[in-house]
Chain A
Amino acid sequence: MRHIISVLLENESGALSRVAGLFSARGYNIDTLTVAPTNDPTLSRLTISTTGDDRRIDQIEKQLGKLVDVVALQDITVNRHLEREVVLVKLIADAQKKADLDRVADAFHAQLIDISESQYIVELSGSNEKVDELLKVLASFQIIEVARSGVTGMTSTERVLKVDNK
């Protein structure tokens, strides 16, 4: 089953490699990984989407918890939560296909953020599934490049990921 684990990490050099190294050393999957500073400059927030049965997820959480640079962590998928991923798709559409592209963009609430002759860049922010759907539909166009950000997210309940969670 797919899980999204949010981690507050000391904003120190090498901290990210500890997390990435843990996953590769213990054979855990990383489907997506995002990391960026937070409103607290001493902390980075890292989001990992991974798959595994309950026992594997339990091990991932425990092993992450042992890393000295990990300040707090939370599996947001066990609660009501929101997740977002940004995707940029560069594609070619001739005049005839442009109308199709507009219809697809409208349907997905995606935007055409760059337009030059027959080349377009489509941007969408949405759930992982929605991004997958968009890419499926856009397959009928000539896709040149795809850039996905990976998933980030947070719970929509009172359960907040904060420093004293560990």
Chain B
Amino acid sequence: MQLTGADIVVESLKHEGVELVFGYPGGAALHIYDAFHRQDDVEHILVRHEQGATHAADGFARATGKPGVVLVTSGPGVTNAITGIATAYMDSIPMVVLSGQVMKPLIGYDAFQEIDAVGISRPCVKHNFLIQSVEEIAPTIKKAFHVASTGRPGPVLVDIPKDITAEVTTFVYPESIEMRSYPPVKSAQPSEIVAAVEAILNSSQPIVYTGGGVVLANAQEELRQFVRTLGFPCTNTLMGLGAYPHDDPLFLGMLGMHGTYEANMAMNKADLIIAIGARFDDRITGTLNGFAPDAKVLHVDIDPSVIDKNIMSDIAIVGDAKNVLTMMNQELARRAEDVNHELSRDWWAQIQDWRGLDSLWYEPSDSVIKPQFVVQKLFEATAGQAYVTSDVGQHQMYAAQFYGFSDTHRWINSGGLGTMGFGLPAAMGVKFAHRDADVACVTGEGSIQMCIQELATCKQYDLPIKVINLNNRYLGMVRQWQEFSYEKRYSHSYMDSLPDFVKLAESYGHVGMLIDKPADVEAALKEAFAMQDRLVFMDFITDQTENVYPMIEAGKSHSEMRLRPNGPKPE
């Protein structure tokens, strides 16, 4: 079949099973846009800013496990997409970004809307390609999807010069591709599993600490079996929430900078840390000097470079979390008579003491809306079944702490890069993937304004997302740090001249609601979620002085948590 390069792009996407592409047209991508116009199999979603396209594709990927696909033009199309590409990169999200490039003969001559897309994206992609000929398009797209979605996933950019998209060649989509330099995923050795299980069975103060890797590997069932067989305490990172059910007695909540007292203390006092698909980043460990002084570390990850990077391991297993957990579960079954729950009895007594502190407690109020209260009521209104996206800041931590997740792929946030503006476009991607599910975007008045233009996209494609705006008129997390570490010098953290969010939502064709009394929160949420075909922007006027607790401040260790001043204290 003779096709133009542009048609080959679209045909290749079809062969990859792509149904949705998020994008924004421009000169260098116009041949490809023309090819989109000629067919109905792959739907193109027109966003309002390329950052929105990448976050939407990212949200789609996180909610489905399939790679998100983005199409942008050259120059500013690419530079606007970079923040979203970097967001996906930091959280290991599979994504394929197709970018138009100026015509090949113009490359290097500072042509109109020319940018070195491969160069500018290089530090924040898993890999990227500049297509050199029309024959390369199909095999390169095949490679891009393969690299993006295998091993430790990540974004891959394919830059396509405009003249090449007009050239014609025979289209054959390769069945398979060979990449000698792209390593296959290593699988765990049986001897490693035996050694790991031996250490596990001998531990009296263990903790299972899991991250985004368990979510990406769809290993939640294997994890639950592993934890329940052993009766070990389990904690999830911000990226790993949902892997273990929030209401299970073995679950200690989230760990890290704003993790629970019991999760962080258990990490600090453990004799064995079983880390699975988690990377010991600085928000998890606190200062490395004071990190888990007595713990042996068993580290399981698909990416060998994560092992011994921040924390030296005693036992390391490189492999897919699902495979490794399956192998460990088999070994545990073989050694069932050696599983002794009595061994960790004292440890559990200690953990129950820590848990008794109720470190997430906040002072309820009937005069001012507490942001935590809104998230709790959101959980109730959605029966804990919503897909929840968030932006970045205090509201993100409240959502992580107070919306109990029972399944993976439900909690969708920018953990690694911490990208404000992520929540709303990510929610669009989720809604496209799960039309019948409740999708809530928990945000703040600062973050929401970073991609607010996507309210128009939501209108165009009828995406009845519920925006939960926790509006405290501050960049709350910045304000909190300034309160704690800068003697309350609130430099540029007050959000002045805010729009009237109700009118703003209405001007985009949505429903706006203002809620400023605690007594109205529950009814308002019920009313909003009852409007199944409308996007409802809920502007909750919340307590301006509320802080996120507990907090491990920068440079402190797990045992030095800052607890709520008027809250319960350890004995």
Contacts and interface: CB of A to CB of B under 8 A. Distances in A.
Contacts of B179: 68
A91 to B, nearest CB: 39
Contacts of B183: 65, 166
A18 B122 contact: yes
Nearest to A69: B181
A71 B123 CA distance: 19
B180 A71 contact: yes
Contacts of A66: 303, 305
Contacts of B66: none
B309 A59 contact: yes
A25 interface: yes
A25 B123 CA distance: 8
B67 to A, nearest CB: 16
Given A10-B181, A71-B181, A166-B181, A62 B304 contact: yes
Contacts, number: 40
A102 interface: no
A13 B107 CA distance: 14
Instruction: Name the prevailing secondary structure of the A interface residues.
Output: helix
Contact of A68 (B119, B182, B303, B304): B182
A58 B181 contact: no
A18 B121 CA distance: 11
Q: Which 9 A-B pairs have the closest CB atoms?
A: A62-B305, A71-B181, A68-B127, A62-B304, A25-B123, A68-B182, A63-B305, A166-B183, A21-B122
Interface string A51-68: 000010011001101101
B157 to A, nearest CB: 12
Nearest to B156: A68
A66 B181 CA distance: 9
Contacts of A166: 180-181, 183
B308 interface: yes
By size class, the interface of chain B is: 10 to 19
Interface string A1-39: 000000000100110011001000100000000000000
Nearest to B132: A13
A89 interface: no
Interface in A95-147: none
B147 interface: yes
B122 A17 contact: yes
Interface string B175-194: 00001111100000000000
A48 B305 CA distance: 19
A59 B130 contact: no
B118 interface: yes
Given A59-B305, A62-B304, A68-B181, 10 more contacts: A10-B181, A14-B119, A63-B305, A68-B126, A68-B127, A68-B182, A71-B181, A163-B180, A166-B180, A166-B183
B90 to A, nearest CB: 13
A160 to B, nearest CB: 16
A70 interface: yes
B262 to A, nearest CB: 32
Contacts of B305: 59, 62-63, 65-66
A69 B122 CA distance: 12
Interface string B478-494: 00000000000000000
